[in-house]
Structure 1
Amino acid sequence: MLICVRVRIDRWMVTVHAHGKGDPRNTRLLTGWKAIAQHFGRTQSTVRRWADTADLPVYRAAGEKGLSVYAYADDLDAWLTRRSVSETRAEAYPEPGAGHPTTSAPHLVPAHKRGTLARMVLIAGLSLIAVGGAVTWTQLQSATSPASTNVEPIPEEARELYLRGTYLWNRRTPEGIAGAIEALTRAIEIHPDYAEAHAGLAMTYNLARQYSGMPGWKAYALAEAAARRAIELDPGLDLAQAALAFIEFHWHWRVEAGLARFEEAIRLNPDSANAHMWYASSLLLAGRPERALPVADRARVLDPNNSAVVTIKAQALFYSGREDEARELVEAMIREDPNFAWSYYTRYMMALAQGEYAAYLDNYARLGDVISVPRHRAAAEAGAVALATGGPEAMAMAMFEVEREFYERGEALAWDLARHHALIGDADEALRWLRISLNRREERLIGIQADPAFRLLHDHPEYAALLIEIGFPAEAGPAG
């Protein structure tokens, strides 16, 4: 049985296909219009027309001269069998004397459930290693997308490693991040001047802190080196500019410079859902939800099936005062993509903002489970016991004690301890730990305005001074 899933990510269309277990067939590669036409027993002009108007799954990597169009035989068969019986009879096997066949046809199985490629693979029951499946990436043409300035041909092995790395970091899982680092590093070893691979590696390291538990000081340093090398090789590469914008905003706390560079990345590629998503997220952290919401809307238009995009859209709705819409969006996303970590982050933030402490603890623990950070569940379980007997203040102090043990082992941040004191209005202790966090340059500080745990500090003069020291302009205010 052939299983086939297609989903668009920015300028790429990925097709994941595999046979069910026990099926001995291999996917056969067809190169060129002639071979594709022969597969159907039709003319080249007919299959070209199907590709243009009926979503026939043929591929061409943009910007690589001399590469013919290609397709996979099983991909073509899946396209054909998914068409209606009437369309199949009329177009693929016309009756003698029949007129010109219709060119309309349904898409290959669309990613109609929200989620990343990881979820789509899980839903399809695919395992690229276990069942010998394959992944095909095709860069979509865009009039505004700059071509790489590389003049030396990219070796095929390096290109395949780059495509695999791009697929893996877009999964946004600990395993995906680790695999992407390995694949992209190898691609650069083969072709050191591969700008796209450097940019992809930079973004992988940016995401490593969030999705794999890599310390921020390590992840961002590696990301910056890769991003700057990518820009040196190709200043017009939008992913490289977006990766550096991410670093400037989240690590160096150059807030306005980071936001401006995100805008530049979007100018270079207006159809990048990722760049719009990262820009919207940064605007939320900067306390500008009214600007973030239309950017998040645009990201979702560009990639409606991306769980990370939907998460940021939900956050933008919430901080814009549209709480019910935000909750509905998050709940729907969790039902459809229960393995996406940051939906639980979004849900625990919403619950905390609305004083729903049991839900806050549940989602705090579930986030830790998905990203493999055990202190989250340990703190949440201690907090749940204390909440039942002593209320929110006891909950916060129980969580503080647990996370302080992790902090002393180097497995938690001063920021994490400050949150618990801030939650109950203990301004002195919260600010003391925030000062420690500032002195240690903990990257989580950039999110202080968006975290409802710190709301009781917003009127404190030292809190306002702290925002300025972090890098926010003097007029910065809370996200919502």
Structure 2
Amino acid sequence: MGEPSYEIPLVEKPPEKRLDSWKEIATYLNRDVTTVQRWEKREAMPVHRHLHDKRGSVYALSEELDAWIQSRSVRIDEPEDKPEADTPPIDHTHQGAFAPRSLRPWLILGTVLSLCLLVPAWLALRHRATVTVAPRIRSLAVLPLRNLSGDPAQEYLADGITESLIGRLSNIHDLRVISHTSVLRFKDPQLSTPEIAKALGVDAVVEGSVMKEGDRIRVTAQLIRGATDAHFWSETYDLKMRDALTLESELAQSIAEKVEVTVTGEEHQRLSASRPVAPEVYESYLKGRFVLEQGNIAEVEQGIRYFEDTLNKDPTFAPAYLGLAKAYTRLGTVFAGLPPETTRPKVTSFARKALALDPTLVEAHVVLANVLQQEWHWAEAEAEYKRALELGPNDADAHSAFALWLLCQGRTNEAVDWVQRARALDPVGVSGASVAWILFQTHRYEDAIRESRSALALQPDHGSDLLGLGFALIANDKPADAIPVLEKALALSPGSPAVIGVLIRAYAHAGRRNDALRLLAELKRRAKTTYMPAAAFVNAYLGLGQYDEAFTALEQAYREQSNILQFLKTHPYFDPIRSDPRFAELVRRVGLA
């Protein structure tokens, strides 16, 4: 730890805006040098050091000082605190008038000795009464760093550095760090820092900015106590783009040091890990990650092109392999509709390549565990999840994914507990569909419905939340209420087999059997020319009460290792056929018996 080890360019601002010594800073603030040095230590006044020069060589930027003054309770036009008045001399004349002359020296000595004993005790009590110890910081949120380049196209850079910083800090067991998904809603905050801290349930927040000029990047960050809005640390990092990973490492280490958390040797090693990376490589990767997070299929495919471009330039850049693994995971979801044999081998290959280059990539362990679980390698999946949780104790995705593994094992209470832990780390990202799905599987239908509706109040057109609500409404004997919800989901994802399969069940349970059979015929027609997941037919036939046909569809689901078979032990829709010997045999073959 210590001061950043890179050089700061000497020409960054016009000369009149740069104050190149303690004396110049003090003059600018109309204070003496001792006062401004105290302000730097106690009030996080922004002062920078020429690290290539002697330690005492400092500079400050007038714009930063002006902004700091406006944000502080200390006003530079207030007079300095005056030293306390000296204790007035003690008058011994009256005391001596009533004592024999021979005793006066002893009385004087006794008085002096009494003062020597009483004054330190008084000072200690006074100090104890006036000094308050700030509470320890146990939780932290890194708010989205602001893009100060003036170019909206550079937004990917600020977002990428924010996410990387969160990822590094999330490795610390002694600190709870809020997920990137949850802090994104405060990108353009209308709330004060204490209000944001309260909403996220954290003790402190990190605020800052990113600016790229040519081949250099500047990141400014500051730590703020959530309850008091007190700034207690700030720093500016200037370096070349090729050292961007070093910047992220130095910044994460400084924050960990300032919040005084316990960092193990392995955690410190991961915090400090960095290597030079070509600017074009890093920028291509960040662009891929940025578009991947946007969510729709077209942007996922664009993200794949960025990651492939990254690896063409640097085949050893592990995060790009992870990006490809995550992209093909998205393409293998029920909404994308690609067959598992098309996407899963790629996900597995790219995740393993990422881990071969960097075994500490938490997300790569989670992605690999997901595929192993989908292919019913239960023990191997568990090992990968536990390694991910060991490396990333604050990773919400690892917590929620492990919750699903527990659910598949029939350990429903533990699954609910783990998904709630995930939500504490990511109050926004781990809500709605993910929580509602587990509650639905545990037959807590009212809770699942409430969870889905709460999420849809914020995102009315979120397909997964609409589908999850439809599942729970049907199970709760409200199929008529589920129909408009599922029809809206189908309108948002036209032709989605997953939605059609559940909508068939809703129609059948609501007494609209003809509509159900019409949709089933459409599924069969489309299956002749394109891939239709077996799970869609499983849901349809179970909803129609055609159990022999459902078992035929389940055999097809077994051959393609359909996701629906992970939930044989808990899925409410399987309840009517659980006593059938064919179902018990299927549970055994999937490895869940």
**When the two structures are superposed, what TM-score results if normalisation uses the length of structure 1?**
0.68
CA contact (8 A) 1:425 1:457 kept: no
Larger Rg: 2
Contact residue 349 and residue 452 of structure 1 kept, 8 A: no
For the structure 1 residues 270 and 158, does the alpha-carbon distance in structure 2 shift closer, same or farther, using more than 3 Å as the test? same
Are 2:378 and 1:255 equivalent residues in the alignment? Answer: yes
Q: How many angstroms does 1:152 deviate by?
A: 5.8
**1:202-227 CA distances to partner (integer Å, 9 max, x unpaired)?**
12221222254443222212111101
Distance 2:9 2:409 in 1: 50
Question: What is the aligned partner in structure 1 of residue 370 from structure 2?
Answer: 246
Asked whether the 8 Å contact 2:432–2:454 carries over to 1, the reply is no
Q: Structure 1 121/348 Cα, relative in aligned 2: closer, same or farther at 3 Å?
A: farther
| 1:267 to 1:426, Cα distance in 2 relative to 1, 3 A | same
CA distance in 1, matches of 2:527, 2:456: 30
Partner of residue 578, structure 2 = 458
* 1:218 alignment partner in structure 2: 342
Give the CA deviation at 1:148.
9.3
Say whether 1:161 aligns with 2:284. yes
Q: In the alignment, what sits opposite 2:324?
A: 201
- Show the counterpart of 1:422: 542
Structure 1 position 173, deviation (Å)? 3.2
Cα distance in 1 between the residues matched to 2:67 and 2:450? 37
Counterpart position of 1:409:
529
Q: Which amino acid aligns with 2:591?
A: F
CA deviation digits over 1:343-395, x for unaligned, max 9? 112211111211222333333333344445455677788888x669x816545
| Structure 2 residue runs without a partner (length 5+) | 1-7, 20-24, 30-35, 49-61, 83-133, 136-140, 146-177, 191-210, 220-243, 257-262
Number of the residue aligned with 1:363: 485
2:429 pairs with 1:446: no
* Kept after mapping to 2: 8 A contact 1:279/1:295: yes
Q: Residue 90 in 1 paired to residue 73 in 2?
A: yes
The one of 434, 445, 468 aligned to 1:312: 434
Q: Secondary structure at the match of 1:247?
A: helix
SS at match of 1:231: helix
Judged with a 3 Å threshold, the aligned counterparts in structure 2 of structure 1 residues 153 and 314 are, in CA distance, closer, same or farther, namely: same
Amino acid at match of 2:343: A
Deviation at 1:47, TM superposition (A): 7.2
**Cα distance change, pair 382–167 in 1 and its aligned pair in 2 (3 A):** same
Contact 2:504 2:516 in 1 (8 A): no
Q: Distance in 1 between matches of 2:425 and 2:392?
A: 12
The CA RMSD measured in Å over matched residues stands at: 4.7
Residue 422 of structure 1: how far off its partner (Å): 1.2
Deviation at 1:89, TM superposition (A): 5.9
Mapped to 2, the partners of 1:341 and 1:120 lie a distance apart of 23
Query: Which residue identity does 1:216 align to in structure 2?
Result: P
User: Is the 8 Å Cα contact of residues 277 and 309 (structure 1) preserved in structure 2?
Assistant: no
Identity percentage of aligned residues: 19
1:473 correspondence with 2:592: yes
* Equivalent residue letter for 1:90: S
CA contact (8 A) 2:337 2:497 kept: no
Query: How many angstroms apart in 2 are the aligned matches of 1:272 and 1:150?
Result: 19
Shift of 1:242: 1.3
Residue 336 (structure 1) aligned to one of 458, 461, 479: 458
Q: 1:233 to 1:243 in 2, by over 3 A?
A: same
**CA contact 1:383–1:398 (8 Å) conserved in 2:** no
Whether the 8 Å CA contact 1:364–1:377 is kept in 2: the answer is yes
In the TM superposition, what is the alpha-carbon distance from 1:312 to its structure 2 partner?
1.9
Distance in 2 of aligned mates of 1:333 and 1:409: 36
Question: Given that residues 173 and 371 in structure 1 are in contact (C-alpha distance below 8 angstroms), is that contact kept between their aligned partners in structure 2?
Answer: no
Deviation at 1:171, TM superposition (A): 3.9
What is the deviation of 1:458? Answer: 1.8
1:231 maps onto 2:214 in alignment: no
Matches of 1:118 and 1:199, distance apart in 2? 21
Distance, in Å, in 2 between the alignment partners of 1:96 and 1:448 is 71
Residue 351, structure 1, aligned to residue 436, structure 2: no
Larger mean CA deviation between 428-437 and 176-185 belongs to 176-185
SS in 2 for 1:391: coil
Partner of 1:478: none
Task: Indicate how the Cα distance of structure 1 residues 379 and 457 shifts in structure 2: closer, same or farther if over 3 A, else same.
Answer: closer
> Against the structure 1 CA distance between its residues 314 and 97, is the aligned structure 2 distance closer, same or farther, given a 3 Å change threshold?
farther
Kept in 2, the 8 Å contact 1:357–1:392? The answer is no
User: How many residues get paired?
Assistant: 404
Q: Which moved more, 1:270-279 or 1:235-244?
A: 235-244
Cα drift, residue 229 of structure 1: 0.7
Residues 473 and 481 of structure 2 are in contact (CA less than 8 Å); yes or no, is this contact kept in structure 1? yes
Deviations 1:176-215 (A, max 9, x none): 4223322222222221111222123212221222254443
Counterparts in 2 of 1:400 and 1:461: CA distance versus 1, 3 Å: same
Q: Distance in 2 between matches of 1:375 and 1:225?
A: 27
CA distances 1:432-456 after superposition (whole Å, capped 9, x unpaired): 1211222244444334455433321
- Partner residue of 2:400 out of 277, 282, 306: 277
Give, in whole Å, the separation in 2 of the partners of 1:452 and 1:244: 28
Return the alpha-carbon distance in structure 2 between the equivalents of residues 288 and 314 of structure 1.
16
Instruction: Show structure 1 runs of 5+ residues with no match.
Output: 1-30, 59-72, 125-132, 475-480
Contact preservation (8 Å) 1:149, 1:234: no
Q: Which amino acid aligns with 2:453?
A: E
Letter in 2 for 1:400: L
How far is the alpha carbon of 1:256 from its aligned partner? 2.8
Query: Match of 2:300?
Result: 177
CA distance in 1, matches of 2:491, 2:468: 15
Q: In structure 1, what is the equivalent of residue 312 of structure 2?
A: 189
SS in 2 for 1:90: coil
Return the TM-score normalized by structure 2.
0.57
Q: Counterpart in 2 of 1:290?
A: 413
Which structure has the higher relative contact order (CA within 8 Å, separation 6+)? 1
